[in-house]
Amino acid sequence: MKRKILSVLLTAAFVAATIAGCGGSQPAADTAAPAQEAAPAPAAEAPKAEEPAPAAEEAAPAEEAAPAEEAAPAEEAAPAADAGGLINVGFAQVGHESDWRTASTKSAQDVFSEANGYNLSFVDCDNDSAAQLEAVRGFIEQGVDYIIIDPIVSTGWDTVLTECDDAGIPVIVIDRTIDDSDKYVSWVGSDFLTEGKAAGEWLKSYVEKQGIKEVNALIIQGTTGSSAQIGRTDGFKEIADREGWTILDMQTGDFTEEGGQQVMESYCKSYAGKFNVVVCENDNEAFGAMTAMDNAGVTYGPGNDVILISYDACTAGLKEVKAGKITADFECNPLAAPTVEGVIKTLQSGGTPEAKILVPDNWYALKDQIVDFSVDGKAMSMIEVTDEVIEAQY
Ligand code: AHR
């Protein structure tokens, strides 16, 4: 069965909602707001694997292009389950580079279990884009009912997604985005640009509170060309440029602890005594950077030489916030799978899922590092890291 895209009515409705949300990441008044627009829910209330989010009710981030034509038409038949009554799902996962990724994989394996009525073909692509394309083609050959892709990089997808479309297999993209094809049903993930802006706006308020006059920042970026790297870098840089901060260097640590350590070792040699902010684009890079700074005799965390900013806010990251090492941590929620299941259930019942579904994120720090700040004119809230908050995190 070939799934054709686009319902004109849906497109019009989605575009109208997006226009209503322009001027920032403000959603249309009649759509659900991302958690950080109001006071963010405490971590214990963030969606967990066992709490499926309703696929059709989340707001799309306004700054991302709206591939409204991805919606599957309601009138087409949903794939039948296999002879054993199971729905066959192929998942081409990025790899296993970080704590975040481990949580994402576990979430998918928990949700798409046989007990829940699924047969999951899982491929760990080990951060290799060619292997990821091959994995998707393997799923087409297998004839799975649905394909889930977390794209390592945001380009290079047009041909293989056309092949999925030709085979009539609905594709659901999670976490990172795809920029060069619109042949997928839904995207479910976090708003990386807002994460980057939030880190920048927090830093602006924090240095003001501390009376710090100059910001000389080093950035350890994520995997080059991934939308997580692009959004976080662009978001933070936008604030840095506006504030006239100096970004001394930006190099990739590939979202790994080893990569973070290597880049930071080189930074410590090249920029000794010249930097007072380090931005790591995920927690694992921050752990590596901490080792490098320890070895170089650089102190970091509240009250020390360097303000250390991280993203992900996984359990291990929040422990380092609590220990006074990471100064602020900006979450990227890895638990997309329950929402993806909602998308699949909507398709199974002949419905039309939302084209873009935002997984809400929260921002974390210790009490004394919590400051007021806004992103695109909207007030943000932060969550104080306590043992209970860490316990509830993934
Ligand atoms: O795409 C999400 C990013 O990828 C997470 O921030 C990082 O930890 C992971 O490897």
Report yes or no: 192 and 231 within 8 Å, Cβ to Cβ: yes
**Tens-digit pLDDT profile for residues 26-41:** 222 222 233 333 333 3
Q: Which atom of ligand 1 sits closest to the CA of residue 175?
A: 1
Name, in order, each residue with C-beta under 8 angstroms of 366's C-beta and a sequence gap of 6 or more: 302, 321, 322, 324, 384, 385
Q: Which atom of ligand 1 sits closest to the CA of residue 256?
A: 10
Can you tell me the mean pLDDT for 100-118?
98
* Most ligand 1 atoms within 8 A of CB, residue of 98, 149, 318 to mutate: 98
pLDDT score of 82: 65
For the entire predicted model, the pTM comes to 0.82
All domains of the chain, ordered by start, with CATH?
A: 24-84 (no CATH), 86-190+337-344 (3.40.50.2300), 192-332+362-392 (3.40.50.2300)
Ligand 1 binding pocket includes 227 (Cβ within 6 Å):
no
Half-sphere exposure of 133 (CA within 13 A, CB side): 14
End-to-end Cα, the chain, rounded Å: 38
Q: Which two tokens stand for residue 182?
A: 């619109």
Ligand 1 binding pocket includes 64 (Cβ within 6 Å):
no
- At residue 41, the 3 state secondary structure works out as coil
Half-sphere exposure of 66 (CA within 13 A, CB side): 23
pLDDT score of 84: 75
Report yes or no: 194 and 375 within 8 Å, Cβ to Cβ: yes
Report yes or no: 348 and 74 within 8 Å, Cβ to Cβ: no
* Most ligand 1 atoms within 8 A of CB, residue of 220, 257, 312 to mutate: 312
Report yes or no: 117 and 89 within 8 Å, Cβ to Cβ: no
pLDDT score of 80: 58
d(CA 59, CA 21): 10
Report yes or no: 36 and 380 within 8 Å, Cβ to Cβ: yes
Ligand 1 binding pocket includes 229 (Cβ within 6 Å):
no
**Tens-digit pLDDT profile for residues 5-33:** 333 232 333 333 322 222 222 222 222 23
* Mean per-residue pLDDT of the chain: 85
- At residue 86, the 3 state secondary structure works out as coil
